[in-house]
A and B are shown apart, each in its own frame.
Chain A
Amino acid sequence: MTDNKIIYLDNNATTKVDELVVEAMLPYFSQYYGNPSSMYELGGRNSKVVKEAREQIKEFFGAKSSKEIFFTASGSESANMAIRGVLSGDKSKNHIITTKVEHPCVLNVYKQLEKEGYSVTYAGVNASGEVNTDEIYNAVNEKTALVSCMYANNETGAIFPVKEIAEKVKEINPKTKVFVDAVQAAGKIELNVKDTMIDMMGISGHKFHAPKGIGALYVNSSTLITPLIIGGHQESGKRAGTENVPSIVGMAKAAQLSQEALLYESTEVKRLRDKLEKGLLSKIYNARLNSSAQKRVPNTTNIGFEYIEGELILLNMNDYGICASSGSACTSGSLDPSHVLKAMGVPFTALHGSIRFSLSRYTTEDEINYTLEKMPNIIEKLAKISPYQKELKELKERKGM
């Protein structure tokens, strides 16, 4: 790697913990380490700290009451707790509707529930990665227990109309519950859950500059869930386990900072993302924009480099300290390429060479310039190895480059 530079453009995978967040957390390791359930002041004071954090996260969700907020250990736990929690409370219905492009932490729960006897409808997406909402509405019936749709897709950044989906679904069957996985929306756009008919919404701290291992679930007051983790009375009996006080404090601080930076996200981060996207598409002849969704989170772009494989691109980017991720099969451990890009019908020529760049409020103009300077050389070098020279030449000519 050249001069140890790190250009971190993989913020949809995880984020750097904000230094102010670390600072806020530190006293809760060795100084104020008390158990919030304890009687004495060392513990009791932390009960107040957790309460304040819950209030902060309520603001972050834009919820009515902090009683609707439950702390969990991850986005995956939030999803499992919501889905299983609401289904086991109502055994009279056995139908679920979700999308083909959910995150595996949601999708695999439904695959498991299918084995347990549920029938699941998977709504598709169009070529831009926008969900076919009609497929959702047409599938709602009196047996539909749950409709589950992500707020923003992790790979393409496409924002789904979850507010509208919740309203339409409730019009058709008021008893159907709606869960929204908002892991990729939190910290990037306003959540404002109280202005929607959404029943449950999950988030994960490490996607918005809090540490890993902390998440939260919003459950509105009219929705009953049965707990996944049974034990003590913590989280109103909905999630046992001594509160992770340092991380809860950290996530609350991160939520506050993210909320303050939302305008910056939607202007400056978006400007840099657009600059990167336009630059790559104009400088590199085999670059193809995989998601041109009308509404996208401001930090994400997904670009396919045709006839080149993604892992090879990432390995070469790594040599310049540029971090991103790929929808290629070779990077996943599974041999299957991205289920999201496949559902969108991204052609095979670009599917395996797709790279997701995701920025954050820490991304600088210099970093984007550096990436734009290095990427064309990387792709040029790798294109020479490709067996598809004829096709690449045609692409080059078509783009007049």
Chain B
Amino acid sequence: MKTMWDYTEKVIDHYKNPRNVGSIEDADAIGEAGSLSCGDMLKLYLKVDKNGIITDAKFQTFGCGSAVASSSILTEMVIGKHIDEARKITNKQIVDALGGLPPEKMHCSVMGHEALEAAISNYYNEEITIPSDDEIVCHCFDISKTFLETEIKNNNLKTLEDVINYTKAGGACGRCHGKIKEILDNINKPQPKAEKLTNTQMIIKINNIIEKYISPELRKDGGDIELIDVDGNKIKVKLSGRCGVCNRSQLTLTHFVEATLKEHVDDNIEIIQV
């Protein structure tokens, strides 16, 4: 069957014949995600035995075909699992189990994951803490900055379109697009170089680089190198074997050893031969 959305056979099967529909009267955990006003809402019920195994799961969903399919397959995925194992299920695993979802429908899998998280928190009586500096970014769908940051990191989202598809944030009036881009930029900006290393960290790092990149090359020529001491930026080394007696050893030190260490460790490194 072809419809506007290119749904997989699995998605079609699950919205046509949804598994585990309904509620559990004496559920050990209930989780909710979404809302009626936002156009999709999911209620997940879990029955957990004394060993922490999920023995039954049921769902009720207000939403489109892929929302129902995501909920339905999620119940199948959690039944029989230990609650802590179930907690490791990601929204990507829900998508994979369905054989994929159209990009615009990714938020359905996120909603499934959210409801599962909520149910497990409910099981452990965990308080869901909202950071005091949290703010609502998308007012149309009531989506917070913390939630966006988590989903951007978890799903490796790169563009505004990704964020809309996965979280719905920015999918209606569009007024928050600037803010979403800001959050994206903050998360995806190139990581600044690591903070200054302590001497011990420096020694370990330099030794690693020597072992990995420098020694093997010198050994090819029958020589080797040994780290003697680290004093700030000054790295004291001793060349051994044939390198120790080679009259071009200074060139090797500056053009190869120092350059390699500068590239991998720190730009200010200075090599001293002892």
Contact = CB atoms under 8 A, between A and B. Distances in A.
A124 interface: no
A219 to B, nearest CB: 34
Contact residues on B (Cβ < 8 Å of other chain), bracket: 20 to 34
Contact of A334 (B18, B41, B68, B171): B171
Contact of A315 (B15, B40, B173): B15
B61 A387 contact: yes
B140 interface: yes
Interface residues of A, number: 30
B107 to A, nearest CB: 8
Contact of B164 (A330, A335, A385, A387): A335
Interface in A241-300: none
A337 B1 contact: no
Nearest to B173: A336
A333 interface: yes
Nearest to B5: A311
A134 to B, nearest CB: 27
A318 interface: yes
A309 B62 contact: yes
Contact of A388 (B1, B21, B62, B173): B62
B20 to A, nearest CB: 11
Contacts of A348: 36-37
Contacts of B141: 335
A369 interface: no
Contacts of A334: 171-172
Contacts of B37: 348
B62 to A, nearest CB: 5
A308 B65 CA distance: 11
A48 to B, nearest CB: 42
B106 to A, nearest CB: 12
Nearest to A349: B36
Most buried by B among A308, A310, A312, A348: A312
Nearest to A348: B37
Contacts of A319: 1, 16
A335 B172 contact: yes
Interface-central residue, A312, A315, A316, A329, by most chain B CB under 10 Å: A315
Contacts of B63: 309, 312, 330
Nearest to A330: B64
B60 A387 contact: yes
Contact of B60 (A1, A310, A311, A386): A386
A285 to B, nearest CB: 17
B104 interface: yes
A335 B168 CA distance: 7
B218 interface: no
Nearest to B108: A330
A190 to B, nearest CB: 34
Report the 10 A-B pairs with minimum CB-CB distance, sorted nearest first.
A335-B171, A330-B64, A311-B64, A387-B60, A336-B172, A387-B43, A348-B37, A329-B39, A352-B39, A315-B65
20 contacts: A307-B62, A309-B39, A310-B64, A311-B64, A315-B65, A318-B1, A329-B172, A330-B40, A333-B104, A334-B171, A335-B140, A335-B164, A348-B37, A384-B22, A385-B18, A385-B68, A386-B62, A387-B32, A387-B42, A387-B61
